[in-house]
């Protein structure tokens, strides 16, 4: 249930909050479901696309954040037993 709440909050944060808060919520959600960072990065780039903007920065940041969250969540799971992430 908590996973679904974090995913919904992260998705809503792309519309409601500045990018710093959205990035933090997306990273927290990526600790539970790693592909959230990539998918919400693509959505963020699609929502706020400007012609001539260049590289899709949110998608690239989502890929990097998802990889980092995957390894951090794995580290947390191995260090703390009995906690389900």
- Tell me the pLDDT tens digit for each residue of 27-70: 889 888 889 989 999 999 998 888 888 898 899 999 999 999 98
Per-residue confidence at 1, pLDDT binned at 50, 70, 90? confident
What does the alpha-carbon distance between residue 26 and residue 80 come to, in Å, rounded to a whole number?
22
- pTM, 2 dp: 0.78
pLDDT band at 82 (very low <50, low <70, confident <90, very high): low
- Classify 54 in phi/psi space as left (phi over 0), alpha (psi -120 to 50) or beta: left
């Amino acid at each position: 249930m908590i996973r679904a709440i974090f995913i919904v909050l992260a998705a809503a944060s792309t519309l409601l909050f500045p990018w710093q808060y959205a990035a933090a919520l997306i990273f927290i959600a990526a600790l539970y479901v790693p592909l959230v960072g990539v998918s919400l990065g693509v959505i963020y780039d699609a929502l706020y696309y400007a012609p001539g903007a260049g590289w899709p920065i949110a998608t690239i940041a989502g890929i990097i954040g998802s990889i980092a969250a995957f390894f951090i969540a794995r580290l947390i799971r191995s260090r703390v037993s009995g906690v389900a992430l």
